[in-house]
Amino acid sequence: MNIIALIPARYNSTRFPGKPLVMLKGKPIIQQVYERVQNSGLFSTVCVATDNISILETVKSFGGRAVLTKENHPSGSDRIAEALQYFPQAELVINVQGDEPLIDKETLQQLISAFQDSQVLMASLMTVIEDREMIYNPNIVKVVTDKQNYALYFSRSVIPFNRDSQIDIQYYRHIGVYAYLPECLQHFVSLSPSILERIEKLEQLRALENGIPIKMIETGYQGIGIDTPQDLKIIEKLISSS
């Protein structure tokens, strides 16, 4: 199977402008992510999709592949869909966020394996929340699933809400790495941003509101996306201790 990895990298992040170019252990964050994905050996092609010429040039400077996309995409999925036009032979597309420098081969392989089921059109990752304080953190996206592990809903709020506190509940954190069949990705981005997506600022809700099922794969991966300078400090400590 021709599997490609596309890494969306936007310069003007609201909470952390210029994030892909910030240095992490001697390398730009985007290089750390790119090399992790490339070194997994799982992909025929790895490419950064960016809206910024400095990011493009940085990727090319370390020998990576990158394409320039429009600035005004509402989500990372919309950005990689534009980049997909350069890879017409792709049979499966993996969307690895440009701020996941701890992503590993085992986790990516788990996600790819979901497509052994021919019914799966789109898949993503979830992991058990071990730190109970994370449940109440709006920067941590929670997910609930049905009995076949298809997503029912994603939220920055606490879901499910344990009203009587009499049931022992396992909470799951969504990890924003996605996989799609190309035709599913193109259908997804043809849809307008949905009301729930705009309320929660979560692109995956566009899929659910429009009846696109998302298969959730449980993983032990506990990587932290870099959304703020404080997250960067946490990642630096994790890398130093590994």
Per-residue pLDDT tens for 223-232? 777 777 777 7
pLDDT above 80: residue 240: no
Task: State how far Cα 60 lies from the chain centre.
Answer: 22
Which of 9-23, 128-142, 151-165 is predicted least confidently?
A: 9-23
Mean pLDDT of the chain: 92
Total-model pTM: 0.91
What's the pLDDT at 13? 74
What's the pLDDT at 242? 60
pLDDT above 90: residue 33: yes
pLDDT above 90: residue 166: no
The full set of domains in the chain, from first to last, is 3-236 (3.90.550.10)
Q: Tell me the angle at which helices 53-61 and 29-39 cross, rounded to the nearest 10 degrees.
A: 50
Q: And the tokens for 157?
A: 């709020």
- DSSP 3-state assignment of 21? helix
What's the pLDDT at 234? 78
**CA atoms of 140 and 135, how far apart (whole Å):** 7
**CA atoms of 214 and 205, how far apart (whole Å):** 10
What's the pLDDT at 14? 67
